[in-house]
């Protein structure tokens, strides 16, 4: 693919996509995500792009376009089959950053989403306040505020209100945990 593809690959990887590269011999390289095949065109050639689209490629991207546009085009094609993270009846769509519990959409602010995602990647594990400050706020010190507690309280109200059991738990002396079901055993971090 060449070094011109690296920024696009990093941007897609950060959004939760695993890339499959194809192309053998004289064939142009292709990026496959789910069932979508996107041609990677090294130079801006509208005639070649038209032939590729007529030949079945869902889209054509390349280093000649802005990285954000290329990522947006690929994500648009893959959105229907985007990577998700499931913890119990909670579903987190990693591309469009939408969250739902038992089929009900839960709107979250950016920091709430980051907290939830950090906990969801460690289901049933108690995550300390200091670990959350490092991972979500990118702080290597305790600022002496109650911002973690405030954000967790708001997140708990959105995630657990109106459901039969709470997913977010405070583990006394150890931190917070996202537990997929009632009675889930907790591990410590």
Closest CA to 37 of 18, 17, 21: 21
**How much is the pLDDT for 1?**
46
For the entire predicted model, the pTM comes to: 0.59
**How much is the pLDDT for 184?**
58
Measured CA to CA, the distance from residue 157 to residue 154 in angstroms comes to 5
**How much is the pLDDT for 72?**
83
**How much is the pLDDT for 34?**
59
Closest CA to 119 of 138, 108, 132: 132
**Alpha-carbon dihedral sign for residues 41, 83, 111, 121:** negative
Measured CA to CA, the distance from residue 150 to residue 43 in angstroms comes to 50
Q: Cβ distance 176 to 119 under 8 Å?
A: yes
Strand partners, 178: 168
How does pLDDT run along the chain (189 residues), one tens digit per residue? 456 777 777 777 777 665 655 555 556 666 666 566 788 888 889 998 899 888 888 888 888 888 888 888 877 776 666 678 999 999 998 877 889 999 999 999 999 999 999 999 999 999 999 999 999 999 988 888 899 999 999 999 999 999 999 999 999 999 999 998 766 556 654
Burial of 158: CB neighbours in 10 Å, binned 0-12, 13-18, 19+:
middle
């Amino acid at each position: 693919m060449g070094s011109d593809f690296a920024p696009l690959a990093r941007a897609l990887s950060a959004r939760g996509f695993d890339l499959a590269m194809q192309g053998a011999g004289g064939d142009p390289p292709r990026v496959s995500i789910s069932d979508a095949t996107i041609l990677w065109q090294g130079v801006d050639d509208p005639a070649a792009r038209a032939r590729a689209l007529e030949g079945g490629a869902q889209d054509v991207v390349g280093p000649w376009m802005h990285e954000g546009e290329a990522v947006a085009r690929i994500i648009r094609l893959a959105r229907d089959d985007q990577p998700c993270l499931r913890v119990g009846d909670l579903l987190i769509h990693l591309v469009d950053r939408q969250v739902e519990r038992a089929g009900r959409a839960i709107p979250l602010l950016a920091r709430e989403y980051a907290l939830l995602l950090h906990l969801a990647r460690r289901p049933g594990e108690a995550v300390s306040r200091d670990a959350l400050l490092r991972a979500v706020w990118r702080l290597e010190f305790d600022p002496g505020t109650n911002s973690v507690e405030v954000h967790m309280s708001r997140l708990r109200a959105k995630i657990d209100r109106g459901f039969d059991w709470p997913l977010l738990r405070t583990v006394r002396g150890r931190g917070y945990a996202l537990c997929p079901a009632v009675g889930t055993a907790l591990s410590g971090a």
